[in-house]
């Protein structure tokens, strides 16, 4: 699996990931480069740097979750905003989000939650992403194999691969934050 050491902590410099891992994760999802996304990307990169988390990982999660749309809302759940935070997660002591549609609050909360999960899983980014999507309780109960076999959660392995594909697309790029 991926660990924090495989994902460079430097938020603005190109990241070289293991070639085997890059080949393992192929999907239809690739990094997008729409000019309209620039303000949301800048918020995410600045917040990732502030929280000392790989900005490419944070950008990949936000792209896959909301396509950088701060008003995105999942019709099947309470997930909202850039990082598609569920209401309960958003209001948690980890995220402290009062308005999930506020891009800065959502990015701050989503990145804090992702960092919390990476720490919880001792640097295992794969496990942290599974927890992010399935919920900590589901991950603890089912594990990766059980999640893949679950009719309600079997979309998560492909979701994970989408994020890693986007991450690797971003890896060779430099993302600058405006002063």
Q: Which of 47, 65, 121, 136 is catalytic?
A: 65
Q: Are 95 and 85 in contact (CB under 8 A)?
A: yes
DSSP per position, 101-137: TSHHHHHHHHHHHHHHHHHHTTTBHHHHHHHHHH-HH
Please report the sign of the dihedral spanned by the C-alpha atoms of residue 36, residue 38, residue 44, residue 47.
Answer: negative
Please give the structure tokens belonging to residue 18. Answer: 């293991």
Pairwise CA distance, residues 148 & 106, whole Å: 28
Is 136 annotated in the active site? no
Q: Are 147 and 21 in contact (CB under 8 A)?
A: no
Kindly report the CA angle at 124 between 114 and 19, in degrees rounded to 5? 110
Backbone angles phi, psi at 73, to 5 degrees: -145, 130
DSSP label at residue 150: -
Residues that are catalytic: 65
């Amino acid at each position: 699996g991926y660990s924090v050491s495989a994902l460079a902590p430097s938020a603005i410099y190109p990241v070289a990931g293991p070639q085997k891992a890059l080949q393992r994760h192929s999907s239809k999802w690739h990094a997008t480069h729409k000019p309209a996304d620039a303000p949301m990307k800048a918020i995410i990169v600045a917040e990732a740097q502030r929280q000392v988390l790989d900005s490419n990982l944070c950008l990949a999660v936000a792209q896959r979750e909301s396509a950088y749309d701060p008003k995105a809302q999942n019709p099947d759940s309470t997930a909202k905003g850039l990082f598609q935070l569920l209401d309960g997660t958003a209001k948690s002591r980890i995220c402290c989000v009062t308005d999930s549609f506020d891009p800065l609050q959502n990015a701050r909360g989503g990145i804090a939650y992702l960092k919390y999960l990476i720490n919880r899983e001792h640097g295992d980014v794969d496990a942290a992403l599974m927890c992010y999507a399935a919920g900590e309780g589901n991950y603890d109960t089912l594990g990766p194999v059980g999640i893949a076999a679950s009719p309600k959660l079997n979309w998560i392995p492909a979701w994970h691969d989408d994020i890693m594909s986007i991450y690797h697309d971003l890896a060779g790029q430099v993302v600058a934050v405006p002063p």
